Amino acid sequence: MRHVAALAGVGIKTVSRVMNDEPGVSEATRQRVLQASRQLNYQLDMAAGSLRRSGRQTLSIGLLLPSVANPFSSEIHRALEDTLSERGIAVFAASLDDDPEREKALVAAFLGRRVDGMVLTPIGRNQAYVIPEHSRDLPMVFIDREPVGIEADAVVTDNAAGAARAAAHLVGHGHTRLAYFGDTPEIQTARERRRGFLEQLGQAGIPTSTVYVREGLRDVESARLAALAVLSSDEPPTAIFSSQNLVTFGVMRALKELGASRRVALVGFDDFALSDMMDPGITVIAQHPERIGKLAAERLLARIDGDDGAPRTYVVPSELIVRGSGELLPSY
Amino acid sequence: MRHVAALAGVGIKTVSRVMNDEPGVSEATRQRVLQASRQLNYQLDMAAGSLRRSGRQTLSIGLLLPSVANPFSSEIHRALEDTLSERGIAVFAASLDDDPEREKALVAAFLGRRVDGMVLTPIGRNQAYVIPEHSRDLPMVFIDREPVGIEADAVVTDNAAGAARAAAHLVGHGHTRLAYFGDTPEIQTARERRRGFLEQLGQAGIPTSTVYVREGLRDVESARLAALAVLSSDEPPTAIFSSQNLVTFGVMRALKELGASRRVALVGFDDFALSDMMDPGITVIAQHPERIGKLAAERLLARIDGDDGAPRTYVVPSELIVRGSGELLPSY
DNA sequence: ACATTTCGTGACAACGTTGTCTCATCGTTA
DNA sequence: TAACGATGAGACAACGTTGTCACGAAATGT
């Protein structure tokens, strides 16, 4: 900036005024400054600015996702970006990989960069460790899962209700022998989905004890093996609900291997690309990552702008998408 | 920091020393400072630090992608993050949406945040506008496409060679009536793929004029319609090469609608999830986004560390993955 | 015993900005 | 003509750090 000032033959503060479009600069001076700044290819240093400026906004926020490469996460990321970029806010994105240590380290890294706020997917059992930051007035919005041990805004899918819809759908097509394949119950969303599914079956008069429940499935392969085992048993289920993308893929593979794709009904939680190109198309409970991301961004902006209402959890409804696999009738 | 110093009853510089693990502080003082900093929940302000520090590293870089939600992009993103996070470098990610204006605006936004370097997917016809920044010594690595009008490192896939491999594969299975379905030739990668495909056919003795070439396909629907039209013509091709993910999806849909999935061979550029679950599995030329991301990160780090060798383009080889659709024999 | 080195520590300026204040100039009004 | 407000511009301090230097005390060497 000093250089620009020197070149334009004005004071440093005048350059600041021009760069920030502040009033009180004559058009002639203004042009001279702009000319000089272009010539020197000068650009304001935001960091230095926000250092001095009161309020100290850095116009950047931190985003913590299970993985930036995960399609569900990256759609949330995209929606957040779209909403925030309108305000000129840049997004630091990072992947957690289910590692609570990483979670803490990344929170610290973002804090050190003085982000204006954070959006995070909690993974540790307890998020109380961020209380100091949170009460220090750093806006935070949790997504996908509600935080434990801390009062903060959260944006989540109606996991239980969505799973219940899947249950009702399958029962409505006459199924009475059902199976639940799920992720580890360590994860809040997985617990909710199981609960919603089983409770709805209970209400439909299907004893929970007759439902085959298999949990702890974290990837395609484990889900595939689990499904193969159950489907080859004496009394295999006529319908399966899988609580998550990768689990759904595993079950699909098992069904295909056994040639049972058209015999055993399947409803998966989470939509995915090409689901309609499968044979049959896969019926799913779709989440709406765009809406989650957008809502999270809006809440974060509101908090940044000073909204200090009581923290709330916002629920984004899921949606049943009928494609064929969930409408197969029971065959014994 | 002043507060911590006051609480610990030491000078401000001593706190700085402790926070930065600098030597020359007695263990007793050190403990007092740590205690005080914990009590006040204090965290170093990186921005202020790098303001003073010579060299001015901010430990953050900018990443410009077509879209953070695009699976190919987000895998690159992930690989970059993994390599950079080892050095404590945070990543600003942003989506371009094929908009050259956005590209410029985002570059400016990152510059204002004084990133240590940038990784970008060029979209404008010409990247000369970043020359001032680049020569200002800001490390830059281009990915996916080579930059035009500027000398800089680039990491790309062997588009032409990959497409040629697809051509050779189809010809090797006896096809002589082929079609090329591609994205707009505005895009460098699309041009390269077309060139590689056609040149290889030429070398195999198939006159280029007999190859049906359809370009300008930007989404699933336009590709589907184009494929439907060609496949319903008098002399439909017996094999199709699609130059990109979305185009491949469109062709797949058309083939399925016409019940021709097992009759017309298909090789797509770009791998995708569940490609092996299709019927038949889709043979593809797979790119390696993880390797592109990793290599780009390594090049960027090298540049940040002062490597001033001549800019180079690094080519990451693609790979033919055989799954069935590309091995169908011609049927007339 | 004194000179010299080492160690722990703090004062101070500077990094690139911006908020506050002051000042000179000029045109207007009583 | 004197007083005044408006306008354009710069001097200066401060933001939270860290590099440089200086200083006193203890440890070491002669």
pLDDT, one tens digit per residue, over A223-240 is: 999 999 999 999 999 999
**CATH number, domain with residue B70:** 3.40.50.2300
Beta-carbon separation of A88 and B109 below 8 A: yes
Strand ranges across the sheet with B319-321:
B212-214, B178-181, B239-242, B265-269, B283-286, B319-321
pLDDT tens-digit readout, A262-290 = 999 999 999 999 999 998 999 999 999 99
pLDDT, position A145:
92
A37 and A86 inside one domain: no
B189 and B92 inside one domain: no
Lowest mean pLDDT, pick from A84-93, B121-130, B177-186, B214-223: B121-130
Beta-carbon separation of B272 and A272 below 8 A: no
pLDDT, position B134:
66
pLDDT, position A209:
94
Nearest Cβ partner for B90 among A78, A113, A279 = A113
Strand D contact with A29 (CB < 7 A) = yes
CB B45 within 8 A of CB B16: no
pLDDT, position A228:
97
**Rounded-to-integer distance, Cα A296 and Cα A79, Å:** 9
**CATH number, domain with residue A23:** 1.10.260.40
Beta-carbon separation of A91 and B90 below 8 A: no
Number of CB pairs, chain A paired with chain B, less than 8 A apart: 135
pLDDT, position B331:
81
Band of residue A55 on the pLDDT scale cut at 50, 70, 90: confident
Whether B50 maps to a domain, the answer reads no
Question: From the CA of A91, how many Å to the nearest CA of chain B?
Answer: 6
Find the residue in A nearest to B67 (Cα): A78
**Rounded-to-integer distance, Cα A149 and Cα B88, Å:** 28
The pLDDT of A194-208, averaged and rounded, is 97
Strand C contact with A2 (CB < 7 A) = yes
Q: Is residue A88's pLDDT more than 80?
A: yes
The pLDDT of A83-101, averaged and rounded, is 95
Nearest Cβ partner for A90 among B71, B82, B109 = B109
Strand D contact with B131 (CB < 7 A) = no
Write the CA distances from B111 to A41, B106, B134, integer angstroms: 11, 8, 11
Q: Is residue A304's pLDDT more than 80?
A: yes
Whether B227 maps to a domain, the answer reads yes
Whether A175 maps to a domain, the answer reads yes
Find the residue in B nearest to A220 (Cα): B274
* Tokens coding B91: 């990543």
Whether A174 maps to a domain, the answer reads yes
**Rounded-to-integer distance, Cα B326 and Cα A6, Å:** 66
Band of residue B139 on the pLDDT scale cut at 50, 70, 90: very high
User: The tokens 């000073």 sit on which residue?
Assistant: A306
Residues of chain B found within 8 Å of residue A110, distances taken between Cβ atoms: 90
Q: How long is the CA A42 to C1' C23 vector, in angstroms?
A: 29
pLDDT tens-digit readout, B67-90 = 999 999 999 999 999 999 999 999
A7 and A111 inside one domain: no
Domain span at residue A14?
2-44
Q: What is the mean pLDDT of chain B?
A: 94
| CB-based contacts of A189, cutoff 8 Å, min separation 6 | A144, A145, A156, A157, A159, A183
A72 and A147 inside one domain: yes
| Local structure of A245: helix, strand or coil | helix
Whether A50 maps to a domain, the answer reads no
Question: What sign for the dihedral angle of Cα A233, A239, A241, A245?
Answer: positive
Nucleotides of C under 7 A from a protein CB: 7-20
Q: Is residue A136's pLDDT more than 80?
A: no
Strand C contact with B29 (CB < 7 A) = yes
The pLDDT of B280-295, averaged and rounded, is 98
pLDDT, position B129:
76
Q: Is A101 exposed, middle or buried (0-12, 13-18, 19+ CB in 10 A)?
A: exposed
Band of residue B123 on the pLDDT scale cut at 50, 70, 90: confident
Find the residue in A nearest to B278 (Cα): A278
**Rounded-to-integer distance, Cα B17 and Cα B14, Å:** 5
Whether A243 maps to a domain, the answer reads yes
**Who among residues 37-76 of B has its Cβ near strand C, under 7 Å?**
48, 51-52
pLDDT tens-digit readout, B167-185 = 999 999 999 999 999 999 9
Nearest Cβ partner for A256 among B91, B109, B277 = B277
Q: Is residue B13's pLDDT more than 90?
A: yes
Residues of chain A found within 8 Å of residue B96, distances taken between Cβ atoms: none
Q: Is residue A129's pLDDT more than 80?
A: no
pLDDT, position B119:
97
B211 and B262 inside one domain: yes
Beta bridge partners of B154: B142, B313
The pLDDT of B124-141, averaged and rounded, is 78
The pLDDT of B177-199, averaged and rounded, is 95
Whether B254 maps to a domain, the answer reads yes
pLDDT tens-digit readout, B246-271 = 999 999 999 999 999 999 999 999 99
The pLDDT of B269-279, averaged and rounded, is 95
A64 and A111 inside one domain: yes
Beta bridge partners of B283: B267
Nearest Cβ partner for A74 among B41, B68, B278 = B68
Beta-carbon separation of A51 and B50 below 8 A: no
Q: Is residue A77's pLDDT more than 80?
A: yes
pLDDT, position A135:
63
Strand D contact with B16 (CB < 7 A) = yes
Domain tally, chain A: 3
| CB-based contacts of A257, cutoff 8 Å, min separation 6 | A224, A228
Lowest mean pLDDT, pick from A251-255, A299-303, B20-24: B20-24
A266 and A166 inside one domain: yes
A168 and A239 inside one domain: yes
Beta-carbon separation of B74 and A92 below 8 A: no
A211 and A124 inside one domain: no
Lowest mean pLDDT, pick from A56-65, A121-130, A321-330, B33-42: A121-130
Nucleotide with minimal C1' distance from the CA of B22 is: D18
Strands (E), chain B: 60-65, 90-95, 117-120, 140-143, 153-157, 178-181, 212-214, 239-242, 265-269, 283-286, 313-316, 319-321
B148 and B295 inside one domain: yes
Q: What is the mean pLDDT of chain A?
A: 94
Strands (E), B14-161: 60-65, 90-95, 117-120, 140-143, 153-157
Band of residue B135 on the pLDDT scale cut at 50, 70, 90: low
Find the residue in B nearest to A105 (Cα): B88
Q: Is residue A125's pLDDT more than 80?
A: no
Beta-carbon separation of B74 and A69 below 8 A: yes
Whether B32 maps to a domain, the answer reads yes
Helices (H) and strands (E) in chain A, counts: 12, 12
pLDDT, position A134:
66
The pLDDT of B282-299, averaged and rounded, is 98
Residues of chain B found within 8 Å of residue A37, distances taken between Cβ atoms: none
Strand D contact with A51 (CB < 7 A) = yes
A276 and A189 inside one domain: yes
Band of residue B56 on the pLDDT scale cut at 50, 70, 90: confident
Strand D contact with A52 (CB < 7 A) = yes
A97 and A246 inside one domain: no
pLDDT, position B125:
76
